Amino acid sequence: MKTRITEMFGIEHPIIQGGMHYVGFAELAAAVSNAGGLGIITGLTQRTPENLAREIRRCREMTNKPFGVNLTFLPAVTPPDYPGFVRTIIEEGIKIVETAGNNPSQVLPFFRQAGVKVIHKCTSVRHAKKAEAIGCDAVSVDGFECGGHPGEDDVPNFILLPRAAEELTIPFIASGGMADGRSLVAAMALGAGGMNMGTRFIATKDAPVHQNVKDALLQATELDTRLIMRPLRNTERVLNNAGVERILEKEKQLGAGIKFEDIIAEVAGVYPKVMQQGDMNAGAFSCGMVAGLIHDIPTVKELIDRIMREADEIISKRLTGALRG
């Protein structure tokens, strides 16, 4: 399948694995790239530029296909060494970066000079247009269904994607609710050049996370996610658990007066406990509504091959058959 996204990034299938904290390690990125998609290493999970350099080299030992690095820009009392991460990405020869969070305009000149293509994650059309204006090569348009931070506009992909298609000239990827061949065909019908999957890739044999996490996604339905931190205007979609219930209770009790410090026990340092140790009630971790469409735990290759087979059958048989009447 050829789209503007596959052409831009030199990949076989228009399927991208999004950056995910304590999930996007070399193993998963290499598996996605080897299966014809675009794997992504999560930069900040590595904590230091030196660690990221080692992870990139480790990934290169597992694949000779294109892969990228996610770099999320977040406000912090003690910010990560962003200049060091940018320098490492360039020096290690990475040619594709997924940026998220704050506006990446300060780092774009460095990436552009080094020939690095930048995909910026956006949750609204106005942010996507801004990303285009500052020089991003592509955007990942994240609908309200997505795991992690869906923004504050609450616009689902059936509206957000065609609106993006109306406004953008750069290619874009659909993110949020993406799981199978139906997702890919629908995303492309609405104007996207491919799809980004996060939660779905966690529920694969290749994902380097605790089996408890995969089993929880298998058991979850589309009704099992919750929105936290809405009063802080830092909304995050997470899988419901005891830690999340504690957050929601605090939000209910404290109302508009709630501060981040009030919920820090349920959000700080949670990912290693969940993803590596399998403590499913440690606190909040990102999960999309797409959990309701996860019914098995295949290998990454099995998943991507199935998606492309389904997409081909939908386009060539069902839709073409409908045209014939």
The domain that contains 66 carries what CATH number? 3.20.20.70
Q: Across all residues in the chain, what is the average pLDDT?
A: 97
- The pLDDT value recorded for residue 169 is 98
Q: How far apart are the first and last CA of the chain?
A: 25
Q: Mind listing the pLDDT tens digit for each residue in 291-300?
A: 999 999 999 9
Answer yes or no: is 144 within a domain. yes
Task: Give the pLDDT score at 324.
Answer: 79
Confidence tier at 76 by pLDDT (50, 70, 90): confident
152 within some domain: yes
- Residue 176 falls within a domain, yes or no? yes
78 part of a folded domain: yes
Would 136 be classed as within a structural domain? yes
pLDDT at residue number 141: 98
Is 46 inside any structural domain?
yes
The tens digit of pLDDT for each residue in 244-259 reads: 999 999 999 999 999 9
The CA dihedral of 310, 64, 95, 22, to the nearest 10 degrees, is: 70
- Do 137 and 114 form a contact (C-beta atoms < 8 A)? no
Residue 234 tokens, joined:
């830092």
Residue 209, domain member (yes or no): no
pTM reported for the whole predicted model: 0.97
Domain tally, the chain:
1
| Edge-first strand listing for the sheet containing 117-122 | 15-17, 195-197, 172-175, 138-142, 117-122, 96-101, 67-73, 39-42
Q: Reply yes or no on whether the pLDDT at 81 is more than 80.
A: yes
Condensed to tens digits (0 to 9), the pLDDT of residues 55-69 reads 999 999 999 999 999
Residue 93 domain-assigned? yes
| pLDDT at position 325 | 66
Q: Which domain holds residue 77?
A: 4-204
Q: Which of 146, 150, 290 minimizes the C-alpha distance to 221?
A: 290
